[in-house]
């Protein structure tokens, strides 16, 4: 009896959680794909994780911002900027750690600009960041002198930021997980805690759920939104740094399309497009799910791998319907 009620309670907590739908989808897709030859190999699985990692960093910030009721379409260009700031600093012989801080600073300022335009004008952030996306790319043309940046040198710091985890590869042959994934998981845990266990997180939900009610209770809605824009920018900048640490190259087109991938991951992960509800852990599930499907498409070869976006499209709509269904039944 006691066990039964404890189970009921657990079930209730699970069903009420925004990640219930995404988690079920992830498991179902995983089980279905496990019948595909070569899917259940360490190589495929670590490939899925690696392909999801960089988008994952962006999705953390974008999801937080979406819960606060705003969008950031400029994250792709901020990611490229982060890569360039970090890269230029390293190429000039500077410390990669200082480069990391500089990249975060510049990316944070770019996020702040988005946020300031929002709170000063009240124009929808979707429109603002649609514009700043191109403006930031424009700035990047000058800053990068329209050149792709590439280095050949391998720095030990790169291995810490986003290198292969060698001991894992030697222990499990074929496994090729990178350190950036560990940083991503830590970042997800930190922001999930911030979201559900702090005052700031409570105010993020309130700002996205009902701005007027939040303001009437003394929540400084504009300040909350500004902070979310800065965090979103910094997460995108961090993604740029991680990209450079892995590939040792960055170009102006780096990050293009990432904004929609991140929004897709957020929605697949149970975050409402209209704000006020969502989960950072859900966003991680979202990027992993999309990446898993991409690998599935490549392995099954039923449709061309180039036609993968069609699969993402089906996933987004399907996940949105499923999440909505679960939300209704709560």
Q: Is 195 in the site for another protein (CB under 8 A)?
A: no
C-alpha span between 127 and 172 (Å, rounded): 47
Nearer to another protein, 140 or 281 (CB): 281
C-alpha span between 204 and 47 (Å, rounded): 34
Q: Is 117 in the site for another protein (CB under 8 A)?
A: no
Q: Is 197 in the site for another protein (CB under 8 A)?
A: yes
Nearer to another protein, 277 or 300 (CB): 277
Residue 214 beta carbon to another protein: minimum distance, rounded to whole angstroms: 7
C-alpha span between 143 and 148 (Å, rounded): 11
From the list 154-162, 172-180, 206-214, 222-230, the region that binds another protein by CB under 8 A is: 206-214
| Pure H helices in the chain | 2-16, 20-33, 42-67, 75-91, 96-121, 125-143, 156-162, 166-171, 179-197, 199-209, 211-216, 221-247, 258-268, 280-300, 308-329
Q: Is 118 in the site for another protein (CB under 8 A)?
A: no
Residue 15 beta carbon to another protein: minimum distance, rounded to whole angstroms: 12
Residue 66 beta carbon to another protein: minimum distance, rounded to whole angstroms: 13
C-alpha span between 264 and 219 (Å, rounded): 29
User: Tokens at residue 271, please?
Assistant: 């975050």
Q: Is 212 in the site for another protein (CB under 8 A)?
A: yes
From the list 48-56, 82-90, 203-211, 307-315, the region that binds another protein by CB under 8 A is: 203-211
Residue 170 beta carbon to another protein: minimum distance, rounded to whole angstroms: 36
- Residues near another protein (CB under 8 A) are 16, 193, 197-199, 201-203, 205-206, 209-210, 212-220, 272, 276-277, 330
């Amino acid at each position: 009896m006691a066990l039964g009620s404890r189970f009921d309670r657990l079930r209730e907590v699970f069903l009420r959680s925004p990640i219930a739908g995404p988690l079920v989808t992830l498991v179902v897709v995983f089980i279905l794909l496990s019948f595909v030859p070569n899917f259940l190999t360490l190589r495929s699985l670590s490939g899925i994780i690696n392909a999801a990692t960089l988008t994952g960093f962006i999705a953390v910030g974008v999801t937080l911002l979406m819960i606060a009721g705003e969008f950031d379409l400029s994250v792709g260009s901020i990611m490229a900027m982060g890569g360039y700031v970090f890269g230029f600093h390293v190429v000039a012989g500077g410390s990669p750690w200082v480069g990391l801080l500089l990249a975060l600073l510049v990316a944070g300022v770019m996020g702040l600009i988005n946020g300031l335009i929002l709170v000063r004008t009240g124009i929808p952030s979707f429109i603002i960041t649609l514009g700043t996306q191109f403006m930031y790319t424009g700035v990047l043309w000058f800053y990068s002198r329209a050149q792709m940046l590439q280095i050949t040198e391998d720095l030990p710091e790169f291995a810490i930021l986003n290198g292969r985890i060698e001991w894992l590869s030697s222990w499990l042959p074929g496994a090729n997980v990178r350190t950036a994934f560990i940083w991503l998981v830590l970042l997800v845990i930190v922001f999930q805690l911030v979201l559900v266990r702090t005052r700031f997180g409570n105010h993020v939900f309130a700002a996205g759920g009902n701005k007027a009610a939040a303001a009437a209770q003394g929540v400084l809605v504009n300040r909350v939104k500004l902070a979310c824009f800065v965090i979103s920018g910094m997460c995108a900048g961090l993604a740029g740094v991680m990209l450079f640490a892995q590939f040792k190259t960055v170009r102006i087109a780096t990050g293009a399309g990432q904004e929609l991938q991140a929004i897709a991951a957020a929605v697949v992960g149970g975050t409402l497009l209209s704000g006020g509800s969502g989960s950072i852990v859900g966003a991680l599930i979202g990027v992993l799910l999309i990446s898993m499907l991409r690998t599935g498409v490549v392995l099954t070869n039923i449709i061309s791998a180039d036609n993968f976006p069609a699969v993402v499209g089906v996933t987004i709509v399907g996940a949105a319907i499923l999440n909505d269904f679960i939300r209704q039944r709560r």
